[in-house]
Structures are given as structure tokens and as C-alpha cells.
Amino acid sequence: MTQAHPTTGAEPDAACPVSLEKLGEVYRADDYDLPYILEEIPVLTRARLAGYLYGKSHMHQLGLKVARFCERDDLVRALGEIGSVIHGQSGLKPAATPAETPAPEARPKISLGGPGQKRVSLAGSGQKKISLGGSAAKGRNFDFD
């Protein structure tokens, strides 16, 4: 359920196709209430609202949500060819937020040695020679000691 909060001193944007009160309702609506709020808005006004919100960087995702409740033809009629683009993007899965992105797996730390470092043999006993490869390293071997 959404709550109405009175706003004071807010200047309505002339480009916004709905009242400041209706814009606030849409902005505060959760996923359950949004469809009910949007069905009260005429289809072409709803399409213009989707374009208005889409054009605001901080409300871009909300614009795509509103566009999901619009027909492609209504978006094109209200916004021109950009309406088709918005309609196409509204059907895509939203990008993962940093909180949803899985953390990379922890990798073991690799040490290049140094004072006080413990030596680990990967091949068992004996000396291991490593070639760095490439034409500049031909004939050069480096010992692990």
C-alpha cells in the first residue's frame, strides 16, 4: 500500500504529462500497486509518462517499468520512433545491480618469495628448471633456489 505525502515548494515540470501528485504516486508505488495506478492514466498520457521518466537518468528504470504497461503502437504514436526503442528495452531483463552481482571467487595468494617466505615444491624432490619461453628466453633456464 502506498502512502500519500504532501509536498511543499515543489515546482511541477512543464514537460511532465501528469500532475505532480500522480507522478509521486507512480514514483512511490511498489510492483503490486503500480499496475492499478497506471490503468487510471489514459494510454497516450501513460506512453508520454514512460518517455518522460525514461529521459530522466535517475528515473530511467521506472520509465521502462511504465513502458511495460504500454502497447508499442501507443508509445510510437506518443513519442515517435524512440517509443519503439523504449518498448524494446522495456522487455529486456534489467541489468544486475552491484549487490546482485556475484562476488568473484577467492583465489589463493601467490607469493614471489622474499625474506621469510616458506618455499613450496610443486614437483616433489629435486630441482625444477623453468623456461620462460619465447625467442628472447631461448637457451635460458631459471632455477628455483
- Cα dihedral sign for 83, 86, 87, 88? positive
Q: Indicate whether this model's pTM tops 0.85.
A: no
Label residue 67 by pLDDT band (50, 70, 90).
Answer: very high
The tens digit of pLDDT for each residue in 2-32 reads 555 555 566 777 788 999 999 999 999 998 9
The tens digit of pLDDT for each residue in 94-103 reads 666 566 666 6
Please tell me the distance from the alpha carbon of residue 109 to that of residue 111, in angstroms, as a whole number. Answer: 6
For residue 20, give every residue at least 6 positions away whose Cβ sits within 8 Å of its Cβ, in sequence order, or none. 7, 10, 12
